[in-house]
Amino acid sequence: MQHLLQRFKNSFTIGEASVIAQMLCVMICESGRMLIYHRNSLIIRLTETKMVIYSSFTLVLGSLLIIIILWVLGIVDRCRSNPSSLVNAILFYLGLVLIIGGILYPLLNWLIQDNPFLWVFSFIGKTTHRQILVLMWLVMIIVSVLLYQPENRKDGLLGAIPKILRRKYFHLLAIAMFTPALMLDEMGFLVLSYCVSISAFILLELIKYSKVPPFSGAIDYYMRMFVDSRDSGVITLTHIYLLLGCAIPTFLCYMIDYMSSQVTHYDYSYHILSPYAGLLTVGVGDTMASYWGIKSGRTKVFGSPKSLEGTLGGAISTVVASAIVIVIIESPYTLILYLPKIIIASFATSFIEASTLQIDNLILPFLFLVILNF
C-alpha cells in the first residue's frame, strides 16, 4: 500500500490504496491455492464454471503481471523519460506480446486444457443470449465512442452538460449493458466479460502512463474529458473503479455458487439483489444523487459540496430500482419481505456517499451487499 501511495502520488487516497492492496492479496492467495490444487489433482474435472474462474483470475492478475515485468525491466521508465523514442516503443510492445504469448497464454491453456481463443468463441456461441449480449455491447460501445468525441467537449453536443453528469453517463451505460445479462441468468458470462474489460482498462492505463506512441496521446486526450479533482494523479482509475464496483458483488455471488456446488454441506444462499449490488449503488444511486444534487441541491451536508436533496434522491432511486428488479425476477410478494432491508441499505449507502470526497465506487457496493445479507 505504501508503494502505491509513494509511486503514484495523488492517484490514491489511503482508503483506496488499502482496498486495492487487500483485493490484490486475496486474489494472489486464491490464485496460488487454485494453481496448487490444479497441479496436484490426478483427475481434473473441468466445468464451465471452473474454466470461467481460471480465465478470470488469469486475465486480471496477468495484466498486473505485465505491469510488474515491464516495470522491473525498466521499460516503463524508459518510455516515460523519452516518449518519442521508437526503440522504447518497440521494446514496450514486444515485451507485451512476449509476456502474453509466452507466459499467460500457455498458463491459461494448461489451466483450461483448451485453446483459450477457441474456448471463448465456443463459450459465447453456446447460447443465443450471449451472442445477443455481445452484439448489443458492441453497438453501445461504438455509439458511446462516437458520442464522446473530443471535438464535442466545448462547442458540440456535450458542451452544455456539466462534467459530473458526463461522467455519470458511463454509470448509466453500465446499467444498460450488464443488467440484462444478470436477468438472463448469464452470471458466468458476465463475470468473464467483467474481467476482460478490467484487464483491458489496466493495459490501456499502462500505455497512457508509459506515454508509448502511437496510442498513449489519444487515450490521454480522450480521458481528459472526464477527469476531475479526484483524478489529479499520474494515473486515472475512476473508470476501473466503476467496473470493479459493478463486478465484485457479481463475482462473489458466482464464487459462492461455485463453492456450493463443490463442497459438501456448504449451502449459503445470498440475498436476491446481491449480484445487482454494484449496479444499484454505483449505477443508479450515485448517478441519481448527482443529477438531483445539480438540479435541486440546496442544503449541503457533512461539510461537503454534496446536498441533502441529492442524497435523498439517490437513496429513493436505489429503493425504486431495487423494487423493480425484484418484481421482474421474483414477485411483488417477495418485495414486501425484502423492502425494509432495501430501504436501510439504500439510505445507508447514500449517506456514506454524501459524507466522503473519495472515489466511492469500490465501497458502496460492499456496504449495500453486507446490509442486504446481514
Residues 94 and 242 in one domain: yes
The predicted structure's pLDDT at residue 162: 62
Q: Which of 269, 296, 331 is the last residue of a domain?
A: 269
Residues 62 and 182 in one domain: yes
Using the predicted structure, report yes or no on whether residue 152 has a pLDDT greater than 70: no
Residues in the chain: 374
Residues 146 and 236 in one domain: yes
Q: Which of 269, 289, 316 is the last residue of a domain?
A: 269
Using the predicted structure, report yes or no on whether residue 26 has a pLDDT greater than 60: yes
Using the predicted structure, report yes or no on whether residue 308 has a pLDDT greater than 70: yes
Residues 232 and 306 in one domain: no
The predicted structure's pLDDT at residue 191: 94
Q: Which of 220, 249, 269 is the last residue of a domain?
A: 269
Which range has the worst mean pLDDT, 131-140, 229-238, 269-278, 318-327?
229-238
Using the predicted structure, report yes or no on whether residue 148 has a pLDDT greater than 80: no
Residues 229 and 297 in one domain: no
Could you tell me the pTM of the whole model?
A: 0.88
Which range has the worst mean pLDDT, 188-202, 223-237, 296-310?
223-237
- Which residues, other chains included, contact 15 with Cβ-Cβ below 8 Å and sequence gap of 6+? 358, 363
Using the predicted structure, report yes or no on whether residue 268 has a pLDDT greater than 60: yes
Which range has the worst mean pLDDT, 100-109, 245-254, 293-302?
293-302
Distances 235 to 5, 163, 215, 230, 305 between C-alpha atoms, Å:
12, 19, 15, 11, 24
Higher pLDDT, 232 or 72: 72
* Per-residue model confidence as pLDDT tens digits over 287-297: 888 888 888 77
Backbone angles phi, psi at 280, to 5 degrees: -75, -40
Cell 483459450 belongs to which residue?
A: 116
Distances 101 to 158, 207, 284 between C-alpha atoms, Å:
41, 18, 39
Domain that holds residue 356: 270-374
Q: How far is residue 324's CA from residue 179's CA, in Å, rounded to a whole number?
A: 12
In which band, very low, low, confident or very high, does the pLDDT at 11 lie, cut at 50, 70 and 90? low
Cell 487516497 belongs to which residue?
A: 13
| DSSP code, position 303 | T
Lookup: cell for 219: 487515450
Secondary structure (DSSP) of 127-192: -HHHHHHHHHHHHHHHHHHHHT-GGGTTSSTTTTS-HHHHHHHHHHHHHHHHHHHHHTT-HHHHHH
The predicted structure's pLDDT at residue 150: 57
* Percent of the chain predicted with pLDDT > 90: 36
Contact 251, 273 (CB under 8 A): no
